[in-house]
Amino acid sequence: MDTCAAIVERFESYLRGAAISLNATVIAEESSEYRVRLMEGGSSVAKKVAEELGLRHIYCDPDPEERRALNVQNSEDREIIWMHRVQALFPNGSSLLFVCGADHSLTFRSALESNGIDARIHCRDWTAE
């Protein structure tokens, strides 16, 4: 996140609590390692929380080179890529917590469900919690 420390700490606490309450075994996120490296002080809250809890972490977004190679044109294209990257985890008993922007929650859930993955939205906007 590219924001103030207090908000990052609040999100980290929220995400940790959500992962524990959902018995997550994996935390995946909309971001990419490339994107995180571009941020000043680049770090991923999702990755940090996953590491603290001993969970697997997955970046799902393609970097710019992958986007060009895969001809990614829009958010729907990105969500299909995310779905393919997490699809391999099912049905092996993984409990996945996927971190994405609120504008993706309904459409990404729909993409997962249309591919046989049971999905629910834990929270559309954590700042409203």
* CA 2 vs CA 18, 32, 56, 87, 89: distances in Å: 21, 14, 23, 29, 29
Percent of the chain past pLDDT 90, that is, above it, reads 65
What residue ranges do the domains of the chain occupy? 5-128
Number of neighbours of residue 104 by Cβ within 10 angstroms: 18
Spatial distance between the Cα atoms of 32 and 123, rounded to a whole number of angstroms: 21
pLDDT of res. 129: 64
Q: What is the pLDDT of residues 47-61, one digit of tens each?
A: 999 999 999 999 999
Q: What interhelical angle do 45-53 and 5-21 show, nearest 10?
A: 40
CATH fold for the domain made of 5-128:
Protein-Tyrosine Phosphatase; Chain A (3.90.190)
